Amino acid sequence: MSAGKDEAQATWEASLEAGKAVMRCEKLTTGQLDLYEKAAYEWAIQNPGSILTVSIKVRAEDFWEEIMMVGKHGEYVVFYTENTSGGAIWISRDNETRVLVYRD
């Protein structure tokens, strides 16, 4: 990715527009951050330039694991999650709500 494009997507509005283009929709999915995501958000704000990797394991009928990578990017914090059903990228700028901008 070129530096110019990366810098342009460091703004909140540009990332929302890019998410709409990738997701092929006019309105993006939103949700509330969980407590562990709020803690990761605070970490990312305090450690710009670093990436926090978290492994979340849940024992249920079927074992489930998710990897979450969190880091500050421009005006917002990025949450990249990956599990057996694929990956997703959520962004937040207020440590309360998140917006889905990519899902594979």
Q: pLDDT, tens digit, for every residue of 29-40?
A: 999 999 999 999
Rounded to two decimals, the pTM is: 0.85
How many structural domains comprise the chain?
1
Which residue range is the domain that position 74 belongs to? Answer: 3-103
Nearest by Cα to 103 from 14, 16, 19: 19
pLDDT at residue 56, as a whole number: 84
Confidence of residue 2 (pLDDT cuts 50, 70, 90): very low
Can you tell me whether residue 100 is helix, strand or coil?
A: strand
* Phi-psi category of residue 69: left, alpha or beta, with phi > 0 → left and psi -120 to 50 → alpha: beta
Asked whether the beta carbons of 97 and 32 are under 8 A apart, the reply is yes
71-102: pLDDT as tens digits: 999 999 999 999 878 899 999 999 999 999 99
- Structure confidence at residue 9 (pLDDT): 67
* pLDDT score for 11: 92
Q: How confident is the model at residue 8 (pLDDT cuts 50, 70, 90)?
A: low
pLDDT > 70? residue 68: yes
